[in-house]
Amino acid sequence: MITESLVLSAILFVIGTFGVLVRRNAIIMFLCIELQLNAVNLSLVAFSRMWGIEGQLFVFFVMTVAAAEAAVGLAIIISIFRHYETVNVDSFNLLKW
Amino acid sequence: MELDFSRQLHFFWALLPEIILCVWGMAVLVAGVSGRHRKGAATEGGDPSFGGAADLGWLALAGVLLAGMANGWLYGVDEVGRDSMVALDGFRLFANWIFLVAAALSILVSFTYVYRQRLQAGEFFGLILLSTAGMMFMAGSRDLIVVFLGLEVMSIAVYALTAFNRRDRKSAEAGLKYFLLGAFSTGFFLYGIALLYGATGSTNVAEIGRVVASGTAPAALLTAGIAFLTVGFGFKVSAVPFHMWTPDVYEGAPAPVTAFMSAAVKAAAFIAFMRVFMVALDGAYDSWYPIVWWLAAVTMVIANVIALVQSNVKRMLAYSSIAHAGYLLVAVTASNETAAAAMLFYLLVYTVMNIGAFAVVISVAHQGEERLQVEDYAGFGWAQPAMGVVFTVFLLSLAGFPGTGGFMGKIYLLQGAADAQLWYLSVVLVLTTIASYWYYLRLAWFMWMKRQISDDQHDLVIVPLPMRVALMVAAVVVIYTGIFPAPALEFARSSVEGLGALSGSMLGLGQ
């Protein structure tokens, strides 16, 4: 059970990583980052079957942090949309992206 | 007083500086949106020589001062045991001094900037205080959960600060870039923690250290965890090859935020890096030492080479800060007490000299940060002698000239490297330092040896009182630590006592 969960979590993490690297829409990139965080949550829960409650506690912290990050991140995306009318990161080229 | 962490209330005392900063940060936020200040900023606060945002700035400074007093008070407090969630050792308290100095200097240099750019002062200063609290959590924790929380509290506040100037495209772009890559690196950092937890069954640094040293942890999980953690920390300290965001973000962010970020965020990441790798992963030194060794070497070489060809001063200082991350990574590679003390000393000096240099950049850049090229500094030294002299001091110190704090810091880093017998890395450090003289001195050359482009080129440089104070303090610290380094170094030495020995002694008890 633990091994399967860990493998699934690793696969999700890799999908998230590739998503960030390949996709160019800021919101999709952000969603991929959320996928990474939730992949980590899955492995924390899996490990906590082995080691006790600590891992599950950690998951709650991660979820809270992800929510806070989403609030600030979406605000930043909105503020850049006001300037460029797009959220495609390739079109932000004032700084050498 | 002795703190026993089985009692909840004692956490409150142990976290007093952090709590003060959090409460104060929120108070500044509220004061900023209250009607009186909003109106005040529009009508009466129009004295540009002092800064219109002065009252909120002083309020924030008072908070930093109070937190500093609480931090000083903590020196008289002992803890029971050495593996509680909140560390009460000198390492944390020294790190707190660094963050508080960085916050105070950043607040002082941003008074006029906030006013001129019409930024919301309450939110600006409030976010600086809150991110400082996050740094303290990150540096002062012996539990990876709290390190992660501190990292995020710090980062989220700094994301917002980076994108703070809503009217400026560059600022929004820098904010988005920092946010996406920062959150991306957080994912790696978190995965590293999860794997370490899976390998050792704990998130406590001391506990992990014990398990790792006993050799019972599964090697594959442990190695993968270390690799992911290194990537996460590598992003935060902006080590090559995880540095791509640094120059762009540092260039786009409002200049006082860049000053704060390049000094304090880096310091917090390095302190946590050192604590986690030196205490928790000491038993696995052989598996992470080559990675960090290469990170350090590559960072020093590449950053210094790219910095040579920069013409934008903010960007040049960004690459210089990456290069300094490389020097500090040498201390992490050495991972002994001498190196840890050297790192604290260097971080302190680096904080003041970097914020000092950025303070001058803020003054010269003037209204909308339009004058940032090296040519804009032509003849600056003769037009504004006082500013020219302090800027030269900061540049020489960043380069590591004898007689400045930066030089002594590098000497101690080399000493730490020598203790760990990192001869090649020491040679790289010395050679890259010599190479870095070129781009720092080029700026000084422009300041003193070139003619002004036009006669009134530097007449618009305004140095208000708070910035003068910050520049004076920074210059005095840089010169003092350069000429009389012994007290500061002694202080750093006593601060790291017992840090690395922790896991070893605990192991002895455990067996």
CB B333 within 8 A of CB B296: yes
Residues B141 and B251: their CA atoms lie apart, in Å, by: 31
Identify the residue among B141, B173, B195, B208 best suited for mutation to test binding to A, counting A beta carbons within 10 A and taking the highest.
Answer: B173
Residue-level pLDDT at B40: 45
pTM metric for this prediction: 0.93
Beta carbons of A76 and B198 less than 8 Å apart: no
Beta carbons of A40 and B166 less than 8 Å apart: no
Identify the three-state secondary structure at position B163.
coil
Burial class (CB in 10 A: 0-12, 13-18, 19+), B497: middle
Of B389, B384, B394, the C-alpha closest to B474 is B394
Between A78 and B8, the higher pLDDT residue: A78
- Whether the pLDDT of residue B53 is over 70: the answer is no
- Whether the pLDDT of residue B42 is over 60: the answer is no
Residues B135 and B96: their CA atoms lie apart, in Å, by: 8
| Domains of chain B: total | 1
Over residues A70-94, mean pLDDT: 90
Instruction: Provide the total of helices (H) and of strands (E) in chain B, helices listed first.
Output: 23, 2
Query: Which of A33-47, B44-58, B83-97, B375-389: highest mean pLDDT?
Result: A33-47
- Whether the pLDDT of residue B43 is over 50: the answer is no
Half-sphere exposure of B271 toward its Cβ, with a 13 Å CA cutoff?
38
- Whether the pLDDT of residue B273 is over 90: the answer is yes
- Whether the pLDDT of residue A81 is over 90: the answer is yes
Q: Which two tokens stand for residue B215?
A: 């050799």
Residue in this structure with the two tokens 């009508």, named with its chain if needed: B43
Residue B200 Cα distances to A41, A54, B210, B230, B255, angstroms: 17, 12, 9, 17, 43
Residues of B (111-150) whose Cβ lies below 8 Å from A: 145, 148-149
- Whether the pLDDT of residue B411 is over 80: the answer is yes
Question: Buried b vs exposed e over B303-327: b needs ≥16 C-beta within 10 Å?
Answer: bbebbeebeebbbbbbbbbbbbbbb
Residues B156 and A71: their CA atoms lie apart, in Å, by: 10
Identify the residue among B167, B189, B197 best suited for mutation to test binding to A, counting A beta carbons within 10 A and taking the highest.
Answer: B197
Residue-level pLDDT at A64: 95
Is the previous residue joined to B241 through a cis bond, with omega within 30 degrees of 0?
A: yes
Residues B273 and B242: their CA atoms lie apart, in Å, by: 15
Q: Chain B partners of A89 at a C-beta cutoff of 8 Å? A: 176, 180
Question: How sure is the predictor about B155, in pLDDT bands with cuts at 50, 70 and 90?
Answer: very high
Question: How sure is the predictor about B38, in pLDDT bands with cuts at 50, 70 and 90?
Answer: low
Over residues B287-295, mean pLDDT: 94
φ/ψ (deg, to 5) at B350: -60, -40
- In B, minimum Cα distance to A68 occurs at B156
Beta carbons of B176 and A89 less than 8 Å apart: yes
Q: Which residues lie across from B126 on neighbouring strands?
A: none
B186 to chain A, any CB pair closer than 8 A? The answer is yes
Identify the three-state secondary structure at position B372.
coil
CATH of domain A2-89: 1.10.287.3510
Domain spans of chain A, in order of start: 2-89
- Whether the pLDDT of residue B128 is over 60: the answer is yes
Q: What's the distance, Cα to Cα, between the start and end of chain A in Å?
A: 43
Q: Chain B partners of A68 at a C-beta cutoff of 8 Å? A: 152, 156
- In B, minimum Cα distance to A60 occurs at B145
Residue-level pLDDT at B85: 85
- Whether the pLDDT of residue B511 is over 50: the answer is no
Residues B319 and B102: their CA atoms lie apart, in Å, by: 20
Torsion sign over Cα B156, B157, B162, B167 = positive
Q: What angle do CA B390, B391, B392 make, to 5 degrees?
A: 90
Over residues B90-103, mean pLDDT: 95
pLDDT tens digit string along B323-377? 999 999 999 999 988 999 999 999 999 999 999 999 999 888 876 667 888 888 8
Beta carbons of B176 and A47 less than 8 Å apart: no
ipTM of the complex: 0.96
Q: Which two tokens stand for residue A88?
A: 């495609």
Q: Which two tokens stand for residue B432?
A: 């890259």
Identify the three-state secondary structure at position B204.
strand
Beta carbons of A58 and B180 less than 8 Å apart: no
Half-sphere exposure of B100 toward its Cβ, with a 13 Å CA cutoff?
22
A53 to chain B, any CB pair closer than 8 A? The answer is no
Cβ neighbours of B294 (radius 10 Å)? 15
A12 to chain B, any CB pair closer than 8 A? The answer is no
Question: How sure is the predictor about B89, in pLDDT bands with cuts at 50, 70 and 90?
Answer: confident
CB B175 within 8 A of CB B198: no
pLDDT > 90: percent of chain B: 68
B227 to chain A, any CB pair closer than 8 A? The answer is no
Beta carbons of A30 and B180 less than 8 Å apart: yes
Furthest C-alpha separation in chain A: 50
Residues of B (247-266) whose Cβ lies below 8 Å from A: 247-249, 251-252
The boundaries of the domain holding residue B494 are: 2-510
A45 to chain B, any CB pair closer than 8 A? The answer is no
